A and B are shown apart, each in its own frame.
Chain A
Amino acid sequence: MKMESVEKPRVRVVGEEKVRIKKSFIKPWMGVKYLFRKPVTIKIPFEKIEPAPKYRGFHTLNWKTCVGCNFCGQICPARAIEMTWMEGEKRPHPKIDYGRCTFCQFCVDVCPTGALGFSENFYLTTGGLEEDLELYDWVPIHPDKVRELNEKFGDYRFPVERIEKKGDGVYVYHLRDGSRIEFKILGYGLRPPAAAKPKPAAKSSGGAPKE
């Protein structure tokens, strides 16, 4: 079928003389003129690149509007989202493993309530201290807070400076401006202990995002 079109091409073929170029000894030296142009490279860390607006970076989560429906966990191609129960919250919230996340932002697209968002922060690296390199149990932060931090520092780094792990699953995020977020993780994808009393119809029980 395709071979026919090879025989009788509808293609407008360009003449060989147009494609063919003459070889030359002298012409390559013309490149020397670029020595006197302004370089296009950026001197990091003295200059920095601003990510484009709506660059797909770290996630933000509005804990108030997230309904714990686990749509984000179902669409995630990298299976990076685990639903997490936290103290004081009626519903599970997504926990994102940035070791797996591909930053595709499909989770943001499917979120029915618009609770999950994203920021332009994209620095996955740290200064290289040993304690920085451990994988955090990372729960997205409120978008307003992230925006505020971006405006304050303007270098698009990870908004959390240090994570303190207290006993009993209590974590404290020390943000870069000195404020703290404290929460207690009760379990991943499981129903929390009786004290929290969620609705029995909560959807994500049974470890659905795992597999």
Chain B
Amino acid sequence: MADLEVPNELRREAKEHDMYLHPIDRDTYELFFGPQHMATENFSIILKMDGNRIEKAIVNPGFLHRGFEKLAEGRPYFTNIALLLRICVPESDVPENIYSMAVDEIVGWEVPERAIWIRTTVLEMARVSAWMFWIMGFGNEIGLYTPGQWAAAYRERFMRLYEELTGGRVYHIYTVPGGVRRDIPGDRWLRQLRDTVEYVKGKMKDFDEILFDNYITFERTEGVGVMDKRFALKHAVTGPNLRATGVPYDVRKDDPYYLYDQLDFEVPVLKEGDSLARVLIRRYELEQDLYILEQLLDMGPPSGPYMVQDARLKALPRFKPPKGDAYAHVESTKGDFGAYVVSDGSHKPYRVHVRGPSQSHGVTVLEELLKGARLADVPVILKTLDNCPPDIDR
């Protein structure tokens, strides 16, 4: 081997372009984490390691590269539903709902009560199935595969309910501006939903035993990836991650939409801000969501139409809302999801902007939290922050 010394000019040039040079003089190395890793889902992190410690983490998204917001400008209003829901795969109903709410507000539609009930139920079902998906991912990250298998099986029950209600399993394409696309398939479906909620509620004890009470979970998460209140507020952290730092902010309570001001539920808050707090908050919220679903079922769907009656809907491809703009947001399992839609009076939106939680959770916060963490903690921090990579790439 010849001289490994890097010429100074090259070093300077590399520094100017923020490039990375091999070999580096100190005992550090570069590690590409993802995008195939189960924890990162569809994005990757470039880790600059010093032994087992991370010196610097650079998030490297862009593997999905879909440009949703730009694409949405080129499609008619209703059609965009089939596109925007791909922003968050585990709970595809959230982007559907925020976009529909914003368009409803622009047009000035009073969404029928039955549609509101269905939308609330669908959102809560989406939350529960997203928690199931999260349990699956998180369990796999810390090496507890069994609860993950169970969660996948229970999620399947919700997928079956979705299949009967909406006709799709993962991408439901169900909530549209003005209401929903199909009516509830009958009382049998409501009974099935109640059975499923009861069933999953009965399984909470098992989840506690095997995952949330587990010694391994505590060991792996306690004191890992700590963020404090000020840091969280500064970086626009929302959702369970914010509540784990001691800020009781929940869109469902602070800016109620749909039926949430009539529902009775609690918002869990912990002060520690570490991964364990984030895990426990999620566990409690799952319980609350099951409780909300029960309340909704007790309430029962109001009778009436499930879609607004409007002559303009006859010619759907050329449907033109009036000029205007609107912002709507909901609380998803990832955080505060919002959509801003601007209409210029034509049949395509002028601008659709989606405010997703993953931009802050998955990029800025993640990079900060990973500094100084151990390599084995990367999946734990990633999964407890719980981001949606397509949301970063939107």
Contacts and interface: CB of A to CB of B under 8 A. Distances in A.
B316 A13 contact: no
Given A11-B250, A11-B254, A13-B266, A40 B156 contact: yes
B363 interface: no
B218 interface: yes
B163 A14 contact: no
A53 B164 CA distance: 7
Interface stretch (A105-113, A150-158, A159-167, A197-205): A105-113
Nearest to A16: B270
B76 A74 contact: yes
Q: Give the bracket for the number of chain B residues in contact with chain A.
A: 35 or more
Interface stretch (A25-33, A127-135, A137-145, A181-189): A25-33
Interface string A92-129: 00000000001111100110100000000000000000
Given A75-B317, A110-B316, A13 B210 contact: no
B133 to A, nearest CB: 16
Contacts of A9: 248-249, 253-254
A5 B254 contact: yes
A56 interface: yes
A104 B208 contact: no
Interface residues of A, number: 45
Given A19-B280, A19-B284, A106 B163 contact: no
B70 to A, nearest CB: 14
Contacts of A34: 146, 150, 206
Contacts of B214: 23-24, 27-28
B200 interface: no
A129 to B, nearest CB: 27
Interface stretch (B26-34, B77-85, B104-112, B382-390): B77-85
A14 B213 contact: no
A10 interface: yes
Nearest to A118: B167
A56 B215 CA distance: 45
A16 B317 contact: no
B53 interface: no
Given A5-B254, A31-B206, A56-B168, A104 B213 contact: no
A156 to B, nearest CB: 13
18 contacts: A6-B249, A11-B250, A19-B284, A21-B283, A27-B214, A30-B210, A51-B163, A54-B167, A71-B315, A75-B316, A76-B79, A102-B82, A104-B82, A104-B173, A105-B173, A106-B79, A110-B316, A112-B314
Given A11-B253, A24-B214, A77-B79, 9 more contacts: A12-B253, A23-B214, A27-B209, A28-B210, A28-B215, A40-B156, A75-B316, A77-B83, A102-B173
Interface of B: 75-76, 78-83, 144, 146-147, 150, 153, 156, 160, 163-164, 167-168, 171, 173, 181-182, 185, 206, 208-210, 212-218, 233, 247-250, 253-255, 266-271, 280-281, 283-284, 314-318
